Amino acid sequence: MNHDITPLQLRHKIRSGEFTSNTSGYSPGFVQGNLCILPADYANEFLQFCQANPRPCPLIGMASSPGDYRIPKLGEDLDIRSDIPSYRVFADGNLVDEVNDVSNLWRDDLVSFVLGCSFSFEEALIADGLEVRNVSEGVNVPMYRTNIDCTSAGRFSGKMVVSMRPMNPRDAIRAIQICTRFPAVHGAPIHFGDPQAIGVNDIDHPDFGDAVTIQPGEVPLFWACGVTPQVAVEQARPPFCITHSPGCMLVTDLPNSHLAVM
Amino acid sequence: MNHDITPLQLRHKIRSGEFTSNTSGYSPGFVQGNLCILPADYANEFLQFCQANPRPCPLIGMASSPGDYRIPKLGEDLDIRSDIPSYRVFADGNLVDEVNDVSNLWRDDLVSFVLGCSFSFEEALIADGLEVRNVSEGVNVPMYRTNIDCTSAGRFSGKMVVSMRPMNPRDAIRAIQICTRFPAVHGAPIHFGDPQAIGVNDIDHPDFGDAVTIQPGEVPLFWACGVTPQVAVEQARPPFCITHSPGCMLVTDLPNSHLAVM
């Protein structure tokens, strides 16, 4: 399928069941988001958790009321129950199903949250001529659990998870400048250099994703990662929860440049 | 003398001979500049050199014509011949005199250039709560010759000189963000980490200024430095040249915030 499809066209193909795979590379230039759907009883605390931890949990949209499956700010004719290629369903914190549509699981008390993801800033880095190692090596970005505590909110707490991309110092400085423009997709790195300073003891064995090559003269840069809220949700063990499957994102109508603060 | 004096008042005290010392810390909040005065025969090439090397040579003002000793853009009633506390006079690249007034040396062919200096971004870093080591240790910033070639322009060429300030990675990221706002005072660092990667072989023995402490967990950050054009001028050996004495700057009427690009 042609990657240069509009977000609306892609969502319609997803809704019809024609498209059920990873969204990476589709509708280039448009924001893709992480999905988290929680019962109203947990929603306010999760919202506070995102508010208190904007680097790992940059909220770019949410449903205006429980039961609402539309988020007009993020997309025309968007139906959050059917417009993601693959969903994960959790009960009491345990993965119980992976499905392509959650319309039949929908409830009047469900609140939908969409969080920014690193695809947006990776596109900006590559557009500036920087190499993003996980992209050039064709693997998932390496992600690590750190010793950095998130600010707790109600039942949500946990350590920050970070993604890592190695660069030489000159490119690293440029990457910090570029990502600073995009606070809604994790913003600037939170650390570079010594992994142990943030509790990462084995850079070659990430906790999530794949290892990438670090060349001589390069330093690892660490960004706050959207897996952080997933870990917090798993630990909170809400009775019911729906997320996207890894890599199968909500493709929105927002241009990436729309997220730039300047 | 009270440090909270307006730039105009300070320049008048300098002009009258009442103030002849280092300007560091005076008129806080206002831009201080490096001075370089060259014969018209060299001025166009020096202007090209600054244009081609904006990181080490950020031009913030120049006289509009040879012989003109006013730069209204930089200050009310500014007289470049008398408003700097101490001048160095060079003949054929050699220091021949250090004086408090160059009115009696003035010539109709002299062109004045004023370049941004690191005082402005150090103030912004400190205002944000970051420690600037050379300031907290009360010494001159350490500066080093690198192996980075400047772009040549006519008779002006040379290696880039850098200043160094150590920080932990989190503060370093913030410093990169803050300095990015100030391209007119050297902008973001050009390098961090391994000094040898830019030809600095002995971090404990700077080529100019004083060594500072690097704490465990800190990395050295390197900024392009205003000593670079001085070195280029020394190497070009113009028959006549006037600069400020180290630390004795032109105090302008421009607020530091005026240099921020955003």
Q: Is B140 helix (H, G, I), strand (E, B) or coil?
A: coil
Retrieve residue B18's tokens. Answer: 């009442």
Q: Does A170 touch chain B (CB under 8 A)?
A: yes
pLDDT averages per 10-residue partition of chain A, 262 residues: 92 97 93 97 96 96 96 97 97 96 98 95 95 95 97 97 97 97 96 98 96 98 96 95 94 94 83
List of domains in chain A? 7-118+237-259 (3.40.1640.10), 121-229 (3.30.2040.10)
Contacts of B192 in chain A (CB under 8 A): 169, 172-173
Contacts of A189 in chain B (CB under 8 A): 173
A226-256 residues labelled b (16+ CB within 10 A) or e (exposed):
bbbbbbbbbebebebbbbbbeebbbbbbbeb
- Position A2 scores a pLDDT of 83
- Position B262 scores a pLDDT of 78
Determine the residue of chain A that is closest to B194 in CA distance.
Answer: A217
Task: Reply yes or no on whether the pLDDT at B1 is more than 80.
Answer: no
Task: Reply yes or no on whether the pLDDT at B246 is more than 90.
Answer: no
B53-65 residues labelled b (16+ CB within 10 A) or e (exposed):
bebbbbbbbbbee
Interchain proximity A194–B169, CB inside 8 Å: yes
In A194-213, the residues whose Cβ lies within 8 Å of chain B are 194, 197
Beta strands in chain B (DSSP E): 30-39, 59-62, 87-91, 94-99, 110-116, 143-149, 159-167, 191-192, 219-224, 240-244, 250-255
Interchain proximity B177–A180, CB inside 8 Å: yes
* DSSP state at residue B114: E
User: Mean pLDDT, to the nearest integer, of B122-131?
Assistant: 96
How far does B130 lie from chain A, in Å, by closest CA?
A: 16
Q: Does B170 touch chain A (CB under 8 A)?
A: yes
Count CB-CB contacts under 10 A for residue B193.
21
The whole-angstrom separation of Cα A249 and Cα A114 is 10
DSSP track, B12-78: HHHHTTS--S--TTSSTTEEEEEEEEEEHHHHHHHHHHHHH-TTT--EEEE-SSTT----TTT-TT-
Backbone phi and psi for residue B107, each to the nearest 5 degrees, phi listed first: -135, 155
Q: Does B89 touch chain A (CB under 8 A)?
A: no
Q: Does B173 touch chain A (CB under 8 A)?
A: yes
3-state helix, strand, coil in chain A (%, to 5): 25, 25, 45
Which pTM value belongs to this model?
0.91
Contacts of B170 in chain A (CB under 8 A): 190-191
Contacts of A262 in chain B (CB under 8 A): 262
How far does A73 lie from chain B, in Å, by closest CA?
A: 27
The beta-carbon neighbor of A188 closest among B173, B189, B217 is B173
The whole-angstrom separation of Cα B195 and Cα B109 is 41
ipTM over 0.90 threshold: no
- In this structure, chain A runs to a length of 262
The whole-angstrom separation of Cα A1 and Cα A25 is 11
What would the pLDDT profile of B59-74 be if each residue is shown by its tens digit? 999 999 999 999 999 9
Interchain proximity A197–B169, CB inside 8 Å: yes
- In this structure, chain B runs to a length of 262
Contacts of A172 in chain B (CB under 8 A): 192
The whole-angstrom separation of Cα A13 and Cα A26 is 12
What would the pLDDT profile of B18-50 be if each residue is shown by its tens digit? 999 999 889 999 999 999 999 999 999 999 999
Chain pair A-B, CB pairs under 8 angstroms: 47
Could you give the angle at which helices A40-52 and A227-236 cross, rounded to 10 degrees?
Answer: 140
What would the pLDDT profile of B162-194 be if each residue is shown by its tens digit? 999 999 999 999 999 999 999 999 999 999 999
- Position A17 scores a pLDDT of 97
How far does B156 lie from chain A, in Å, by closest CA?
A: 25
Q: Is B167 helix (H, G, I), strand (E, B) or coil?
A: strand
Interchain proximity B177–A177, CB inside 8 Å: yes
Determine the residue of chain A that is closest to B189 in CA distance.
Answer: A173
Interchain proximity B193–A189, CB inside 8 Å: no
How far does A149 lie from chain B, in Å, by closest CA?
A: 15
